[in-house]
Structure formats: structure tokens, C-alpha cells
């Protein structure tokens, strides 16, 4: 007979989906805080165990398939967008041929699903009454799986909210308290354009001391205390020569410039070398900053301060998909207005789940707002 603790664990689908032996402890324990603060990034090379890697890949493949099926199976023309205060999708974006061309990877959905409809799905959910999103064999959460992978996959929910080894990893980055900023799939299929050089700002940018181009005058040897850190997991790797590798600039986070976060991003390496990088040095060593392209073997993760400019290379035609999950967390902002949940989690989903008593304590901790309402 099971004791009540075991009973509770098996009743909980997120707990049941856990791969206990997810991370290799020796890789986790090798984290060097000084090097991380100095360089602005840390590579967790081959940190996933074989079992962890297998499940991570399977989950991302399943989630991509769910996303593709919703795109193809939904009768977009029948949905009342205008009644919800949204523009209807342009007819050329909802033809079967066009929708099929959007499948197989992330950041390639039709543009009508990437702007105001994405925000609507996040805030309210594109939920019933029908006609709405069509799912076969799984429940629609009113949002696309690419934008809410944890909601559609219990293993990913566990990894991003509760798994003790993952929480251990995030604690090394943040200390005890951190909140979800956002979590997305980043599966880069053959032909993916990647992303040109850019960086990101902390929250809505209210603490930035430099504009998106930056003067470089705010260089400081001190590591930001208010910090958003992206952790990317590549279960099948992102290796040199295959495309979709991440480029970083060690030490550039100390300039704290949210480079081109909201403008066009045309810069390739040579543009950075002749413009942005010119004259920029490491705040501690004084050495000129340089671009580094990471080659990450299967089962690796990389964590980086999201103020650091970074770049993702094109994925050439014919290359296999680079599977990826982005987990971005941040230190809570003590000056944020009290609220219930972070903006990183679909509001309708977290409200419904909490009201049904189905939000675990672990999920509650990661999803709650900077300064939670009592
Ligand atoms: O696709 C990637 O590897 C990273 C994309 C990126 O720019 C980011 O996560 O901020
Ligand atoms: Fe980025």
C-alpha cells in the first residue's frame, strides 16, 4: 500500500512526468559564480543525462507537433476575431498552403498570431464558445503551445517550476527568489533566419540607463542586481557549423545596453566589429571585447544575462531542426506594483488553475508577481 506522500505524487501528473535523474550533478556543481558575473554567461555543457535529453527532445517534438496541428486544423476564417476586438487574419495568411509553410519550427507562425492576437491569447485565451482553436486528443488552453509549452507538457512544467535539480540551477543564478519572465519554444528548423545581434531589457525598461544603441558611458564592473537571465536548453545541441549557434560577447553585459531590443536588427558580426564593439573593453580586465560563437554539444544549456548582446546564426537548408527551450527568469522588482501573477504566464490559465486548486506550491512560487497581493 502506498503512503499518502507517494499517493499524492502519482496523482499529480506534473510530478509523475518528472525525470528524477535529469541533470548531471558534476556539471551543475561546476558552476563558477565569479566567471559567470565576469563573462555574463555560463555554459552547462552536456548537463542533461541521457534520460533527460531523451525526454526533453520528445517533449519539444510533441509540442511542435501540437502547435503545427492547431495551426492546420483550426478553421481560422470561422473564428469571430472582431467580436473579440481583434482584426481578422488576412486571407492570404490562412490558406492551407501558407499554414503548412509555417509548420515545423518556432518564430514562423503567421504574423496575425504573433501580435495583438498573441496578447489576447495570453490575457484572455482564445477559448469557447466554438468556433475557436481546434485540438484533437488534447485540451486547448486558448494559446499556442509555442508560447506556453509548460501548459501543454507536464515534463516541461516540472522542469520549469519544480524539478529540484533545475531549481538548484536557477538558485545558483539568482539566489532564493526568482520569478518567471517568459518561457517559449525556440525550435529552429532548416532555413530559420536566426536573430541578428540584439539584447533585451529588464522588465519594461524602466531601469535602463542607456538607450537601445547606447553611448557606452555606463560601463561598470558591478554585476546588475536586478537581473533577467535566459537559460536555453538544446537537447540535441547547437554545434558549430550547423547553423543556429548562439554568439555572445563576454563582458558586454557590463555596458548594460539593451541593444536594439525594439528596433530593426540588421547587424551581423562584421557590423558589430566596425561599430558597436569599436573601443569597447571589459570593465574589469580592460581587454577589448570580442565575439564568441558557442558550439554546444547535445544535452547542453547556456545561461546568459539578457542585457548581453547575442546573435543566432541562420540554419542552412537541409539541416535538422535545432530543438530549443528558452527559460527566462528574473529577480523580482521591489518597486513593481503589487499584483497576483507575473506577466510571463497566461493570465486566464493561471487564474483558472489556481481557482480550481490545481496550482502546486512550486508553480505558485515561480508564477507569482514581483510583489504578490496577499
Ligand atoms: O534561438 C536562440 O538560440 C536564442 C534566441 C534569442 O535571441 C534569445 O533567446 O534571446
Ligand atoms: Fe535574444
Domain of 360: which CATH number? 2.60.120.620
Ligand nearest to the CA of 198: 2
User: Whose alpha carbon is nearest atom 9 of ligand 1?
Assistant: 326
User: Whose alpha carbon is nearest atom 5 of ligand 1?
Assistant: 312
The reported pLDDT for the residue numbered 142 is 98
Q: Is residue 104 part of a domain?
A: no
Ligand nearest to the CA of 186: 1
The reported pLDDT for the residue numbered 78 is 98
Is residue 7 scored above 80 in pLDDT? Answer: no
Alpha-carbon distance of 216 to 359, in angstroms, equals 44
Q: Is residue 84 part of a domain?
A: no
Q: Is residue 350 part of a domain?
A: yes
Is residue 356 scored above 90 in pLDDT? Answer: yes
> 11 falls in which pLDDT band (50, 70, 90)?
confident
- How many whole angstroms from 81 Cα to the centroid of ligand 2? 30
Q: Which ligand 1 atom is nearest residue 200's CA? A: 10
Q: Which ligand 1 atom is nearest residue 198's CA? A: 7
Ligand nearest to the CA of 182: 1
Question: How many other CB atoms are there within 10 angstroms of residue 55's CB atom?
Answer: 21
Q: Decide: 289 and 277 in contact? Cβ < 8 Å.
A: yes
Q: Is residue 111 part of a domain?
A: no
Q: Is residue 131 part of a domain?
A: no
Report whether residue 312 contacts ligand 1, using a CB cutoff of 6 Å: yes
Query: How confident is the model over 53-63, as pLDDT tens digits?
Result: 999 999 999 99
The reported pLDDT for the residue numbered 9 is 57
Query: How confident is the model over 60-78, as pLDDT tens digits?
Result: 999 999 999 999 999 999 9
Is residue 15 scored above 80 in pLDDT? Answer: yes
Q: Is residue 139 part of a domain?
A: no
Ligand nearest to the CA of 232: 1
List the single range of 8-12, 220-224, 350-354 with lowest mean pLDDT.
Answer: 8-12
Across 199-337, the runs of DSSP E, i.e. the strands, are: 228-234, 246-248, 292-293, 300-305, 310-312, 325-330
Alpha-carbon distance of 213 to 254, in angstroms, equals 14
For residue 42, what is the DSSP state?
E
> 2 falls in which pLDDT band (50, 70, 90)?
very low
- How many whole angstroms from 247 Cα to the centroid of ligand 2? 10
- Grid cell locating 36: 559567470
Report whether residue 307 contacts ligand 1, using a CB cutoff of 6 Å: no
- How many whole angstroms from 312 Cα to the centroid of ligand 1? 6
- Specify the pTM: 0.96
User: Whose alpha carbon is nearest atom 1 of ligand 1?
Assistant: 186
Element spanning 195, H or E:
strand 195-198
Q: Is residue 289 part of a domain?
A: yes
Residue 42: beta bridge partners?
Answer: 303
Q: Which ligand 1 atom is nearest residue 186's CA? A: 1
Q: What value, to the nearest 5°, has the Cα angle with vertex 291 and ends 287 and 292?
A: 110
- The predicted model gives 27-44 an average pLDDT of 98
Q: Is residue 161 part of a domain?
A: yes
- How many whole angstroms from 87 Cα to the centroid of ligand 2? 28
Q: Which of 156, 87, 74 has the alpha carbon at shortest distance from 120?
A: 87
Average pLDDT score over the chain: 96
- How many whole angstroms from 310 Cα to the centroid of ligand 2? 6
Element spanning 180, H or E:
strand 179-185
Q: Which residue has the cell 483550426?
A: 74
- How many whole angstroms from 311 Cα to the centroid of ligand 2? 7
Domain count for the chain, please give it. Answer: 1
The reported pLDDT for the residue numbered 5 is 47
Is residue 3 scored above 50 in pLDDT? Answer: no
Is residue 151 scored above 90 in pLDDT? Answer: yes
> 303 falls in which pLDDT band (50, 70, 90)?
very high
Domain range for 194 is 16-52+144-367
Is residue 1 scored above 80 in pLDDT? Answer: no
Amino acid at each position: 500500500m502506498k503512503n499518502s506522500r507517494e499517493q499524492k505524487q502519482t496523482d499529480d501528473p506534473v510530478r509523475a512526468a518528472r525525470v528524477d535523474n535529469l541533470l548531471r550533478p558534476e556539471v551543475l556543481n561546476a558552476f563558477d559564480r565569479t566567471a559567470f558575473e565576469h563573462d555574463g554567461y555560463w555554459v552547462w555543457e552536456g548537463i542533461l543525462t541521457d534520460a533527460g535529453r531523451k525526454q526533453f527532445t520528445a517533449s519539444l517534438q510533441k509540442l511542435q507537433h501540437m502547435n503545427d496541428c492547431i495551426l492546420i486544423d483550426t478553421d481560422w476564417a470561422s473564428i469571430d476575431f472582431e467580436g473579440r476586438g481583434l482584426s481578422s487574419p488576412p486571407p492570404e495568411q490562412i490558406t492551407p498552403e501558407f499554414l503548412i509553410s509555417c509548420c515545423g519550427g518556432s518564430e514562423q507562425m503567421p504574423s496575425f498570431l504573433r501580435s495583438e492576437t498573441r496578447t489576447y491569447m495570453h490575457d484572455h485565451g482564445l477559448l469557447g464558445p466554438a468556433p475557436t482553436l481546434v485540438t484533437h486528443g488534447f485540451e486547448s488552453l486558448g494559446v499556442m503551445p509555442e508560447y506556453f509549452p509548460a501548459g501543454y507538457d507536464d515534463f516541461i512544467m516540472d522542469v520549469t517550476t519544480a524539478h529540484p535539480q533545475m531549481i538548484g540551477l536557477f538558485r545558483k543564478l539568482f539566489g532564493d527568489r526568482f520569478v518567471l519572465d517568459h518561457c517559449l519554444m525556440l525550435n529552429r528548423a532548416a532555413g530559420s533566419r536566426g536573430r541578428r545581434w540584439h539584447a533585451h531589457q529588464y522588465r519594461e525598461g524602466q531601469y535602463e540607463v542607456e538607450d537601445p544603441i547606447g553611448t557606452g558611458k555606463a560601463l561598470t564592473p558591478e554585476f546588475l542586481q536586478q537581473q533577467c537571465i535566459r537559460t536555453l536548453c538544446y537537447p540535441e545541441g547547437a554545434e558549430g557549423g550547423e547553423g543556429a549557434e548562439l554568439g555572445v560577447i563576454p563582458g558586454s553585459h557590463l555596458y548594460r545596453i539593451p541593444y536594439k531590443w525594439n528596433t530593426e536588427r540588421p547587424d551581423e558580426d562584421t557590423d558589430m566589429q566596425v561599430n558597436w564593439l569599436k573601443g569597447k573593453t571589459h570593465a574589469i580586465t580592460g581587454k577589448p571585447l570580442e565575439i564568441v560563437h558557442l558550439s554546444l554539444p547535445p544535452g547542453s544549456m547556456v545561461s546568459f544575462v539578457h542585457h548581453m548582446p547575442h546573435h543566432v546564426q541562420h540554419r542552412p537548408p537541409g539541416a535538422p531542426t535545432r530543438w530549443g527551450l528558452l527559460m527566462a527568469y528574473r529577480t523580482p522588482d521591489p518597486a513593481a506594483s503589487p499584483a497576483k501573477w507575473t506577466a510571463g504566464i497566461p493570465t486566464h490559465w493561471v487564474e483558472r488553475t489556481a481557482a480550481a486548486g490545481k496550482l502546486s506550491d512550486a508553480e505558485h512560487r515561480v508564477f507569482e508577481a514581483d510583489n504578490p497581493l496577499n
